[in-house]
Structure 1
Amino acid sequence: MFPFSLLISLWRSILSLIGAGESGSSARDNGRNVKWLDGLRGIASFLVILTHLARAWDYNLFSAGPAEGTPRILQRPVLRIPWQGRIGVTIFAFLTGYVCALKPLRLSGSGNYNASFTSIAKSAFRRPPRLILPATIALACAWTVAQFGAFKVATRSDVEWFRAASVKVDPSWLKEISRLFFTILSTWTNGRNDYDDHQWALLPLLKASMLVYVLLVATMYVKYPYRLAVYSGMILYFHQNNAANTETFGQQACYGMLLSDIASNHPEQSYLSSRRWLRRALCATAIFFGLWAASYPEHDPERCGWSNILLEGSKYMFPPGVNLGKRFTALGVDLIILGIFLSPTIKNILSNRFFLWFGRNSFAVYLTHGTLLKTVLTWMVYGNITGEPWVVTKNDKGEDVFPYFPRGSLGLESLAFESDSEKTQLPR
């Protein structure tokens, strides 16, 4: 009976997706449907896992294609987006701006300014513990398993990224306890985490939320059109700033505030809802160009015509000295989310129970996936749990020769890196 009931449940879910037509959606969606945000958050966390799998065992996917020959199917535009990364953390930053601004903007829009200020004060006070406490618990778990040698296989594997990102435990417990304390401190000071380097994004996300609260207070009594102008000015400010990760966090937080304010006041949405074909055209155009921009490869964009067009266009779009991969990802995410924002149908699909389940567990997945990737999954791939035997020998020049563990029989042994310089790339 279990397989039959599972099939029935799956069939009902498919019918609910198909039935989420625009005829009923437009009437129900007045810009205040926020369930789609959880669905989008769940997709983002899933994409983070996919990109780390590719970074570990198939780094060639980060290139536009081989120097000679035809690109693989997963190196094609759009299909490469889940594997090459960057997009997940960018979506998290957008959601931070949207969600943090939503309730205060609705309260101020109804004229209840005191309640809006109270909401900002409470949210700003609660935000750090909501991020720091779960992250610290996940860090403590990673530290605990590290003491029992759980990362030893990863540090001795044939993946350079694993060896660079996996902690090497000190034999002294006293030093390890001290190291845990200073790792907690450095995680929220400079983003460095020896036991779980994926927590680097939490500090910028916390700063982005505080930026949102400051902007909300500063613009509380500003009229709606001028608030939109302030958000747009902040987006342009971060766009022209060539400092690292400004496009990933600050710009996305302000963009989230912009759409959140439009959703709360929604005169623009009312205008577009009465012009269905215009809304559909804008939605399709935004998603098309967003997917194209988000497909920009991390390496060798000049090898393919579609990515070379983006490379040449970047000279006129972005300031010099920036990370073009992250810049195009930010642009792509903004356009894709604009398309979702304009489409009640896509919102209803993202509000499905399947996506909501992923959204509710997204933060836990983000905090634990790195540890599981470098322990359980690594043990399965390499067929080794203890990290032994491990005997370092010398070559004719007297240099150490490390017997890095080869991959098992999962087909991953054929996925080679293109160059040693690419193997050292860390997930930033």
Structure 2
Amino acid sequence: MIGAPSRGAKRGRFSLAYGESLGHLRRFNYLCLPFPPPPRLTPSQRQEKCNSTISTRHCSARAAMSKATHRLSVQDLEKHAPRQRPDFISVMSRLGYHLLPSFLQKSPKARPKHGGIAALDGLRGLACLFVFNEHYVICYQSKNSQHWINRVPFIRLWWYGKGAVFLFFVISGYVLSYKPLKQIRSRQYEELQNTMASATIRRAFRLYLPCLAMSAVACVLTSLGGFDSATEIYKEYADYLFLKEPPPPHEPTLARQWALWWTNYRFIICATFPFNIELSEWWYFKYDDHQWSIPVEYRCSIALFMVLIGTSRMKTIWRMLTVFIINSYLYNSDRGHAALFFGGMFIAELDLLRQSYTSSTNHINSKTPPSYLKPLLQLSERTYEWFWFIVFVLGYFMISSPIENQWEKGNWLPHALESWVAHPDEFILSYGSILTVWGVANSKALGKVFLHPAVLYLGYISYALYLVHGTVIKSLGYLWMPYTLRIATFTPPSVALSKEWWDGVTNTQATVAHILGYVVVGSVVFWGSDLFWRYVDVPVVSFARWVERKLSVADSS
């Protein structure tokens, strides 16, 4: 069929007809509009406009492809580019950057919105600061006297390390038992087993590896003569100043020097297993006397884990009664440190019990509160805040009131309890620390104080601060002390510092000397603690988790 049109011709006619009809429709719309239609383009103008549109789209695609290529090249530059040998300036600049304190390198961590355990981190940081304050302020005091301000309740705690150590143990008992108790009350026994297994494996690594690392640093410094000058100053001034801790001894050979480190390591292991070594044997500590509390922490942690597992199937009332009996037995058998752990566990159970009655998301095993508790649970939020604030103030007053180290005149509270309890100091410190922790864990107003970024930073570096400050005091602290005393008393170098000279130094002059020393020694302590926290403490936590993953059986589900 020669005269029949082809498919292409039909398609062309259809397109032409469609275009003509569309043109008529556009002309109709333009006629209906209040403004004139755009000018008609000639075929050459339309072709030029089409070419420009295609060129613009092509350029946009090329630009997008160029940007993507540039983005990929920037991201993979360090991976694929050949490594160049860094110069001396870049290496030193990077080293200087890493030596800066963490708060000068990057923005601080996000601040928690609520108190509770997060606020207890801040309290732990302040307690570590109190330990450092006491260990350094006694360097500017006599052995048989004390500045009057260190006997004032509330103020005294800032320079009272023993009360701070009691706070450590109560905080540890509260924090270690809070999550397991929450799982017990929710009857999540499989998750409880995973939690306790994880805590048992990681606890020893978390506590002991930083101790061994810090004592190794002290061992190296001693072998290099870093404590030789401080040892001479200690021998000269220890007769009339309260220099409590001697510097580590410098042994004649490197092998004997590291043998002392092995003695410290052996003490830590023996003090943990088989639970029969006497912790008061101070000759074990050649590099850091403060590590005596670490085996205590581990012992009490394992005992707490055992009680949590053993009482996990008990009803709440019977579990709390069991913990109360264990606490009373430990306290009356001179095992007060373990009693503090179980005191923390007891108040954690009380908090969870109260939350199960008051929160909207009750636990599985929660019940309607008894009738005699309903009036207490229906109190206003302001009333609760005042209650927790009073609990905190009462505990704070008790923990800063012991008679220990108060030779001239002690506070009235220990004397009032002498006829009632056998050891008034231990009684006051124990129950005062429990009340203090309980108030901080529940008060929202106090939580704002203990969640301040500066206080939380102390909580982050708390363990490092506890381990580092002794080495700095026994080296730089002893070296800097004679200079601060001369500056505060305007004593020339020609006058020898002796006991007769010290008897003429006033409390104001000793305080000024202490402040001058604190500025220098405290700066070094916090800087060293920050470095130890970032490069030892945090990696140890990650290492402990890695060991746990390697040792644990994979979940079949």
TM-score normalized by the length of structure 1: 0.74
Q: Aligned match of 2:133 in 43, 46, 50?
A: 50
Once the two structures are superposed, the pairs formed by residues 86-125 of structure 1 within 5 Å of their partners are 86-125=162-201
Change (3 A) 1:152 1:340: same
CA contact (8 A) 2:125 2:458 kept: yes
Change (3 A) 1:414 1:361: closer
Once the two structures are superposed, the pairs formed by residues 290-301 of structure 1 within 5 Å of their partners are 290-294=395-399, 295-300=401-406
Deviation for aligned residue 1:354:
1.9
Q: Which runs of 5+ in 1 are unaligned?
A: 1-12, 21-27, 64-70, 385-401, 417-428
CA contact (8 A) 2:344 2:434 kept: no
1:259 aligned residue: 347
**Bigger relative CO (Cα 8 Å, ≥ 6 apart):** 1
**Larger Cα-atom Rg:** 2
1:286 aligned residue: 391
Deviation for aligned residue 1:43:
0.8
| Alpha-carbon distance between aligned partners in 2 of 1:352 and 1:308, rounded to the nearest angstrom | 34
Question: How high is the sequence identity, in percent, across the aligned residues?
Answer: 20
CA contact (8 A) 2:174 2:347 kept: yes
Report runs of 4+ in structure 1 exceeding 6 Å deviation: 413-416
Deviation string for 1:103-124 (max 9, x for gaps)?
2222222221021012101111
Deviation string for 1:254-312 (max 9, x for gaps)?
011112223334348835573445434533432333233222231347825xx234223
| Alpha-carbon distance between aligned partners in 1 of 2:245 and 2:463, rounded to the nearest angstrom | 24
CA contact (8 A) 1:61 1:75 kept: no
Q: Aligned match of 1:237 in 316, 326, 329?
A: 329
2:267 aligned residue: 186
Q: Is 2:132 the counterpart of 1:34?
A: no
One-letter code of the match for 1:252? L
Deviation for aligned residue 1:413:
9.3
1:205 aligned residue: 297
Worse-superposed segment, 375-384 or 340-349: 375-384
CA contact (8 A) 2:145 2:407 kept: no
2:255 aligned residue: 174
CA contact (8 A) 2:304 2:341 kept: yes
Change (3 A) 1:142 1:252: same
Change (3 A) 1:84 1:92: closer
One-letter code of the match for 1:128? A
Deviation for aligned residue 1:85:
2.3
Q: Aligned match of 2:151 in 75, 79, 90?
A: 75
One-letter code of the match for 1:250? A
One-letter code of the match for 1:79? I
Deviation for aligned residue 1:365:
0.6
Deviation string for 1:99-149 (max 9, x for gaps)?
211222222222210210121011111100111111100110011111122
Alignment: residue pair count:
356
One-letter code of the match for 1:146? T
CA contact (8 A) 1:47 1:83 kept: yes
Deviation for aligned residue 1:173:
1.7
CA contact (8 A) 1:184 1:193 kept: no
Q: Aligned match of 1:315 in 419, 422, 425?
A: 419
Change (3 A) 1:413 1:291: closer
2:312 aligned residue: 220
Deviation string for 1:192-240 (max 9, x for gaps)?
3111111111010111111110110111011122222222222222232
Change (3 A) 1:268 1:280: farther
Change (3 A) 1:74 1:34: same
Q: Secondary structure at the match of 1:189?
A: helix
| Alpha-carbon distance between aligned partners in 2 of 1:310 and 1:163, rounded to the nearest angstrom | 25
| Alpha-carbon distance between aligned partners in 2 of 1:301 and 1:285, rounded to the nearest angstrom | 30
CA contact (8 A) 1:47 1:88 kept: yes
Worse-superposed segment, 215-224 or 181-190: 181-190
2:409 aligned residue: 303
| Alpha-carbon distance between aligned partners in 2 of 1:359 and 1:269, rounded to the nearest angstrom | 31
CA contact (8 A) 1:341 1:347 kept: yes
Q: Which runs of 5+ in 2 are unaligned?
A: 1-107, 272-278, 359-375, 485-496, 515-557
Change (3 A) 1:260 1:99: same
| Alpha-carbon distance between aligned partners in 1 of 2:324 and 2:457, rounded to the nearest angstrom | 33
| Alpha-carbon distance between aligned partners in 2 of 1:358 and 1:88, rounded to the nearest angstrom | 14
One-letter code of the match for 1:36? A
Deviation for aligned residue 1:403:
8.7
Worse-superposed segment, 227-236 or 271-280: 271-280
TM-score normalized by the length of structure 2: 0.58
| Alpha-carbon distance between aligned partners in 2 of 1:136 and 1:200, rounded to the nearest angstrom | 13
One-letter code of the match for 1:289? L
Q: Secondary structure at the match of 1:266?
A: helix
| Alpha-carbon distance between aligned partners in 2 of 1:269 and 1:380, rounded to the nearest angstrom | 57
